[in-house]
């Protein structure tokens, strides 16, 4: 035995045999590990929302039941796995090109994934329905969102849609379910017209459910006129209550006789005038100018919602025992008053309060002219003097006197 090991050819033969056995062992072991249990360097990466392509003659058929996205799990060496997961440069698809119309159960397939990676797709098998393609034209309806939030005084006018007709393509079953084709335009707070706004087209069934189907074109252009109708109407001043005792209304005027109002046409048709909020006369005890709100009906606006109202009061005052002066009395004459039986009268003054309130008895003169009168009884007119801008009223217009000489 020792002589064998001393023989160099024997040692070389044994070494070669061991090398061959080791090579076989390593390769068999490596193959078994890859196919059953991940090695320490293998990783698993789960990819969500991977889109699914559909391979079908879409000029002739439409298909339902294919999920838009699936979950793909990849397993394999880290150096291969990570670039594949990050770049996602592979395809997930169902190949329906050899199938006819009807119900089918198919598998979701993939390509361009390296062979070193194991692939698991969830779901792997799906049930689908293939139907022949149908096409139909529908008019586009315009639905306004928040029309109740248009500013007061504004309304929607003419609407234009380009194009007015769109083409919907799907299965005949889906086409038969279509109840309306709509676009939505938000008009909240709108004060100017919409010109050529592009909006997406929506398709609904008779339950109001949206249908995700092919529409050509996908968007239409909408133009909407926004109007601000107006009208010029009279303004009147409204009052309530009574003035304090001794006062009457001399004049009520406003700084405007008419105003321009804005509202929808159906509202404007019924309006002939606008009044102010009621002014409580019980609170007015002198002439003054006040600012008053206009009582605008709902849906009506104007540039100025307040106006100036000037209230002029008429005051009535009585002055008692105003003396009657005798003019041109001769020395030989003796004058006796019969009516009235005294040489004084009461008078009443009516005028604007700011012209009456400060008057006194000294501001008035009552007189009669007795020049040239002979002895006897005479009826003479009373001459009244006082401020020009007030109305002076006396108890009687004439006096009856007796002249003694």
List the domain boundaries for the chain: 2-36, 43-133, 140-227, 230-314, 316-404
Looking at 3.40.50.1110, 2.10.240.10, 2.170.120.40, 1.10.4030.10, the CATH number of the domain 230-314 comes to 2.170.120.40
pLDDT digits (tens, 9 = 90+) for 376-385: 999 999 999 9
pLDDT higher than 70, residue 13:
no
- Average the pLDDT over 389-396 and give the result: 93
How far is the CA of 308 from the CAs of 19, 250, 271, 320, in angstroms?
Answer: 115, 17, 22, 39
Class of domain 140-227: mainly beta
pLDDT digits (tens, 9 = 90+) for 353-374: 988 989 999 999 999 999 989 9
pLDDT at 185: 96
CATH 2.170.120.30 fits 43-133, yes or no: yes
Looking at 2.40.110.10, 3.40.30.10, 2.170.120.30, 2.40.30.10, the CATH number of the domain 316-404 comes to 2.170.120.30
Chain mean position to CA 340: 77
Instruction: Report the alpha-carbon distance of residue 226 to residue 229 in Å, rounded.
Output: 10
pLDDT higher than 50, residue 386:
yes
Cβ proximity of 131 and 173 under 8 Å: yes
pLDDT at 173: 87
pLDDT at 26: 44
pLDDT higher than 50, residue 303:
yes
Lowest mean pLDDT among 34-43, 237-246, 394-403: 34-43
Check if 43-133 and 316-404 are the same fold: yes
Beta strands (DSSP E) in 78-186 are 91-95, 102-107, 109-111, 118-122, 125-139, 141-145, 155-162, 165-171, 178-186
4 versus 219: the higher-pLDDT residue is 219
Place of tokens 């012209």: 355
């Amino acid at each position: 035995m020792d002589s064998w090991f001393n023989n160099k050819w024997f040692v070389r033969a044994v070494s070669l045999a061991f090398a061959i056995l080791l090579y076989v062992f390593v390769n068999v072991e490596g193959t078994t590990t890859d196919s059953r249990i991940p090695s320490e360097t293998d990783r698993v990466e789960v990819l969500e929302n991977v889109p699914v392509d559909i391979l079908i003659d879409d000029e002739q058929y439409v298909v339902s039941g294919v999920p838009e996205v699936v979950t793909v799990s990849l397993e394999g060496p880290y150096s291969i796995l990570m670039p594949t997961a990050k770049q996602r440069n592979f395809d997930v698809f169902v190949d329906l090109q050899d199938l006819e119309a009807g119900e089918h159960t198919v598998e979701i397939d993939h390509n361009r994934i390296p062979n070193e990676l194991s692939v698991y797709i969830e779901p792997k098998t799906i049930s689908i329905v293939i139907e022949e393609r149908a096409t139909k034209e529908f008019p586009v309806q315009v639905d306004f969102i928040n029309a109740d939030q248009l500013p007061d005084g504004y309304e929607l006018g003419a609407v234009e849609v380009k194009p007015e007709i769109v083409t919907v393509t799907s299965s005949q079953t889906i086409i038969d379910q279509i109840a309306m084709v709509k676009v939505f335009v938000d008009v909240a707070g709108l004060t100017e017209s919409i010109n050529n706004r592009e909006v997406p087209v929506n398709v609904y069934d008779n339950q109001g459910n949206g249908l995700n189907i092919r529409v050509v074109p996908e968007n239409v252009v909408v133009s909407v006129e926004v109007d601000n109708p107006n009208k010029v109407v009279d303004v009147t001043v409204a009052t309530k209550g009574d003035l304090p005792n001794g006062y009457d209304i001399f004049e009520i005027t406003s700084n405007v006789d008419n105003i321009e109002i804005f509202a929808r046409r159906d509202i404007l048709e019924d309006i002939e005038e606008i009044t102010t909020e009621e002014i409580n006369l019980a609170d007015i005890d002198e002439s003054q100018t006040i600012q008053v709100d206009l009582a605008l009906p709902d849906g009506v606006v104007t540039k100025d919602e307040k106006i100036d109202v000037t209230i002029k009061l008429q005051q009535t005052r009585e002055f008692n025992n105003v003396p009657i002066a005798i003019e041109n009395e001769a020395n030989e004459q003796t004058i006796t008053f019969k009516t009235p039986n005294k040489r004084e009268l009461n008078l009443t003054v009516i005028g604007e309060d700011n012209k009456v309130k400060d008057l006194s008895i000294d501001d008035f003169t009552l007189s009669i002219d007795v020049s040239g009168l002979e002895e006897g009884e005479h009826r003479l007119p009373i001459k009244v003097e006082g401020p020009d801008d007030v109305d002076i009223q006396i108890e009687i217009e004439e006096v009856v006197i007796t002249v003694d000489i």
